[in-house]
């Protein structure tokens, strides 16, 4: 089976969770080819339609898998090849983008949502499934915290909180995180920005806790990655985080206010050890190989 993957390409890169998913699908015998969306905005996507037609004519795909709602709209401008569209959260949570995603939902042969909250917001009427993006546990092998700190240049006995995103990303709500950190003296907040994938895995095992204060999320990969590293987590109730960390000792769901977050950070730091998050990832079947099998079942259903 040949599948054309349509996704946004930023600075010559696709999102890692997309490329990792595609690699897992290729391991299942699917022949995949990417079509890059290089322009922003609705009209930027429409501008690429002739190029998409050329890619279809050249590759002869059995189906198209579009990632994000606007890519789903672009893919469905043609009606010869069936389209599967995955919605990753920002295309559902943002009202100005949701209207385009709703169009993609109506036109796509099958829709995939990464969180149940997004399904509730989107109100799909056709065929759809809840399939979060998975992770590869091989990329997050457990290492000693002291070694991880040495690798990342952190003080051996310091206390560190890793913020789950860039401070300048408004969706991540860094202001709330910083207000909470004012109530946790002697603890340093580290911005998750400018690190390689390998460095992120090491950093997650060097810090005391990962903190998420986002306004909106879909099914945040950073939470799954932290779980795979056994890193304690503090998060507000956003996306599917509540379901992911439910019952995991060392992981705490906080109210959206500084004192509650600060209290949870203190509890996470006091936990001190590794969580059982890695085992939960396996239990919930959130590894890329198992997620690929679910997507493959969708492909077979759509291409009949």
**pTM for the predicted model, two decimal places:** 0.94
pLDDT score for 151: 96
**pLDDT score for 42:** 78
Domains of the chain: 2-134+287-303 (3.40.50.2000), 137-283 (3.40.50.2000)
> How many other C-beta atoms lie within 10 A of the C-beta of residue 289?
14
Compute how many other C-beta atoms are within 10 angstroms of the C-beta atom of residue 146.
12
d(CA 80, CA 197): 38
Identify any residues that bridge with 233 across adjacent strands, giving them in sequence order. Answer: 210, 251
Q: What is each CA distance from 104 to 108, 210, 212, in whole angstroms?
A: 6, 34, 30
pLDDT value, residue 137 = 93
**Is 159 exposed, middle or buried (CB count within 10 Å of its CB: 0-12, 13-18, 19+)?**
middle
Q: Is 58 exposed, middle or buried (0-12, 13-18, 19+ CB in 10 A)?
A: exposed
Longest Cα pair distance anywhere in the chain, in angstroms?
A: 61
Cross-strand bridge partners of residue 236: 254
Which position has the token pair 């109100």?
123
Residue range 153-200, pLDDT digits in tens:
999 999 999 999 999 999 999 999 999 999 999 999 999 999 998 999
Residues of the chain predicted below pLDDT 70: none
């Amino acid at each position: 089976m040949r599948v054309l993957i349509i996704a946004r390409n930023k600075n010559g890169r696709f999102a890692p969770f997309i490329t990792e998913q595609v690699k897992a699908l290729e391991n299942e015998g699917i022949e995949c080819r990417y079509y890059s969306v290089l322009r922003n905005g609705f009209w930027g996507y429409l501008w690429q339609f002739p190029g998409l037609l050329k890619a279809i004519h050249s590759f002869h795909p059995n189906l198209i898998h579009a990632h994000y709602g606007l890519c789903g709209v672009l893919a469905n401008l043609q009606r010869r090849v069936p389209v599967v569209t995955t919605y990753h959260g920002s295309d559902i949570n943002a009202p100005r983008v949701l209207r385009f995603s709703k169009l993609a939902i109506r036109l796509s042969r099958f829709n995939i949502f990464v969180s149940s909250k997004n399904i509730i917001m989107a109100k799909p009427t056709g065929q759809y499934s809840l399939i979060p993006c998975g992770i590869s546990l091989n990329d997050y092998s457990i290492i000693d915290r002291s070694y991880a700190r040495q690798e990342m240049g952190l003080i051996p006995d310091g206390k560190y909180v890793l913020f789950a995103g860039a401070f300048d990303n408004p969706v991540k709500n860094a202001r709330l995180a910083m207000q909470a950190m004012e109530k946790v003296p002697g603890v340093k907040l580290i911005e998750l920005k400018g690190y390689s994938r390998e460095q992120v895995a090491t950093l997650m095992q060097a810090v005391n806790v990962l903190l998420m204060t986002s306004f909106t999320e879909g099914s945040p990969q950073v939470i799954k990655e932290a779980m795979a590293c056994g890193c304690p987590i503090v998060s507000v109730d956003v996306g599917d985080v509540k379901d992911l960390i439910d019952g995991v000792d060392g992981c705490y769901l906080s109210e959206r206010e500084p004192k509650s977050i600060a209290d949870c950070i203190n509890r996470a730091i006091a936990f001190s050890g590794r969580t059982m998050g890695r085992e939960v990832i396996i239990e919930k079947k959130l590894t890329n190989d198992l997620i690929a099998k679910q997507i493959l079942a969708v492909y077979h259903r759509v291409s009949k």
